[in-house]
Structure 1
Amino acid sequence: MQIQARGLTFDVHEGGPADGPPVLLLHGFPQDHREFDLILPRLHAAGLRTYALDQRGYSRGARPAAVADYRLDEPTADAIAVLDALGVEKAHVVGHDWGAQVGWLLADKHPGRVSTLTAISVPHPRGLGVALRNQPSQKLRFAYMGVFRSRVAERLLLAGNETVLRQMLRPLGARAGQYAVAMREPGRLTGALNWYRALTGHQLGTVGKITVPTTYVWSDGDPVVGRPAALATATWVTADYRFVTLRGIGHWVPEEAPQALADVTLARIGV
């Protein structure tokens, strides 16, 4: 379906029983709602109603031009507006990568709208900040962000039949191509990269302690987030908290380990 919210048009992919507890799924870069396709059958079989949102930059009707339009408070407000438009007062939130960042902000700024949070790959922003300050290895892991924020990022990522994007997504096998090709849509890759360009430490430094039941899923083969950042997240959740480590899995958890992630997600939601 298409949802009008905040002057933009968002693509939202719904599924599962119409009267089931609502679940909002938030994707990361460079993917879209399809990254959750492999866990959806389990969620639907458990009676959950799912709404997988193509976030700003990814939905065709939600690609504002200014970099500032991609500050994290904007996609956070988008998620709330989409829930409002759907008539959903409170949802279980599942987010991966940038979607996890939005999930942390939702749980902090709008705890009354979040039943539970399952954050995948990206830890609590303050825990991540501690690791970036104190762990040189974590700074090194984030070196790619400088490239993504640069003016040449679009050319680099799309060059040679999207070679760099496809290489990034190589663990996904044939599924990698669907995301690489989609980035050829006018404005899509620039919108996606503007999330990186708009990011500031101040945005992340304002996220407080999380008061909703939370599971954080980290994989020990993730090249982006190291163990110290992952472990630091526990300090920033005061509600029931579970830290799950997936062994031998990389960054693309929803597609590399869909059954394990479905287990974890259903356990958090409690169905």
Structure 2
Amino acid sequence: MTEQLSIPTPAGSFDAIAAGPEDGRPVLLLHGFPEAAIVWEHQVAVLGARGFRAVAPDQRGYSPGVRPGQVADYGMDELVGDVLAMADELGWDRFDLVGHDWGGAVAWWTASAHPGRLRRLAVVSTPHPGALAKALRTDEDQRLRSQYMRDWHDSGTERRMLADNAQALRRMFEWKVPSSRVDEYVRRLSEPGALTAALNWYRAGRPSGQIDKIEVPTLYVWSTEDVAFGSTAALDTENWVTGPYTFQMLEDITHWIPEQTPEVLTTLLLEHLG
């Protein structure tokens, strides 16, 4: 079972789900687009039952209490700052960090900029940003896969995604996520300003500065049927980690790993974090 949590920070209050003893080993789990903290419901519950203190927040723009109006408010510096602010409020000097999709990108940047805060890092689907940038320069397949990131800068994207009972949003999940869960994501993103805030993550532009190689012990989980991230960047990610590194490739699984194969992913996380 998970509990509801509110995490106050200088930017506003983040909604979150949590499980496990207050003094358990802390784990923060970051969701991606177009989802919410509940993508981690299974993992949070199991981690909590195993004695971890697992917390998964609705990130900036997804939590109604942290939904600023300017595109610039969704840059990577702000997103990484949210991670540290939440950890500080929770009283965590060091913690394990897990991320999927956009949450994975935030996790990579956090590990690069603040390695001393993290015990271990686990990233699902999203390759290291350095590996992805290289693939975008050298691999036509990855450029085609990533075209949507540029398309979503268009001001008509919200209208198209929510038209016809949000059919475009629903199709993104490739019928691999339970329909009741998809309904909940659509309900949340249909709130005034919510989808614009989520899309502002894409519109905020590239992070300032270069990302470093990662010295934190890292698990990277990638699936062969991921429509967004191809094998070029996935296989190159190991060259961007100098610390202990584990790569797990899941065959015949789509981008939606946490919900399509929750037990498999949870087992991998327990092995890595334990």
TM above 0.5: yes
Question: What TM-score does the superposition give when structure 2 sets the normalisation length?
Answer: 0.95
For residue 183 of structure 1, report the CA deviation from its aligned partner.
0.7
For residue 13 of structure 1, report the CA deviation from its aligned partner.
1.9
For residue 112 of structure 1, report the CA deviation from its aligned partner.
1.1
Residue aligning to 1:209: 213
- Partner amino acid, structure 2, of 1:186: P
Asked whether the 8 Å contact 1:162–1:181 carries over to 2, the reply is no
Residue aligning to 1:97: 101
1:78 and 2:63 matched: no
Identify which of 62, 68, 72 aligns with 2:72. 68
Write the distance in 2 (CA, Å) between the matches of 1:23 and 1:232.
26
Identify which of 173, 178, 191 aligns with 2:178. 173
Deviations 1:117-167 (A, max 9, x none): 000100100011111100000000011112211101110110011111111
Write the distance in 2 (CA, Å) between the matches of 1:259 and 1:110.
30
- Partner amino acid, structure 2, of 1:247: E
Residue aligning to 1:51: 55
For residue 38 of structure 1, report the CA deviation from its aligned partner.
2.0
Asked whether the 8 Å contact 2:166–2:186 carries over to 1, the reply is yes
- Partner amino acid, structure 1, of 2:176: P
Write the distance in 2 (CA, Å) between the matches of 1:103 and 1:187.
25
Residue aligning to 2:16: 12
Deviations 1:167-194 (A, max 9, x none): 1122113121111121111111010000
Residue aligning to 2:158: 154
- Partner amino acid, structure 2, of 1:199: G
Residue aligning to 2:265: 261
Give 5+ residue unaligned stretches, structure 2: none
Q: Secondary structure at the match of 2:252?
A: coil
Residue aligning to 1:222: 226
Q: Secondary structure at the match of 1:144?
A: helix
- Partner amino acid, structure 2, of 1:86: L
Residue aligning to 1:249: 253
Deviates more, 1:251-260 or 1:36-45: 36-45
Asked whether the 8 Å contact 1:108–1:210 carries over to 2, the reply is yes
For residue 55 of structure 1, report the CA deviation from its aligned partner.
0.6
Question: What TM-score does the superposition give when structure 1 sets the normalisation length?
Answer: 0.96
Residue aligning to 2:199: 193
Asked whether the 8 Å contact 1:6–1:78 carries over to 2, the reply is no
Structure 1 runs of 4+ aligned residues shifted over 6 Å read none
Write the distance in 1 (CA, Å) between the matches of 2:241 and 2:67.
33
- Partner amino acid, structure 2, of 1:101: A
Deviations 1:204-243 (A, max 9, x none): x611010100001000010100001001110110100001
Write the distance in 2 (CA, Å) between the matches of 1:180 and 1:171.
15
Asked whether the 8 Å contact 2:28–2:54 carries over to 1, the reply is yes
Q: Secondary structure at the match of 1:38?
A: helix
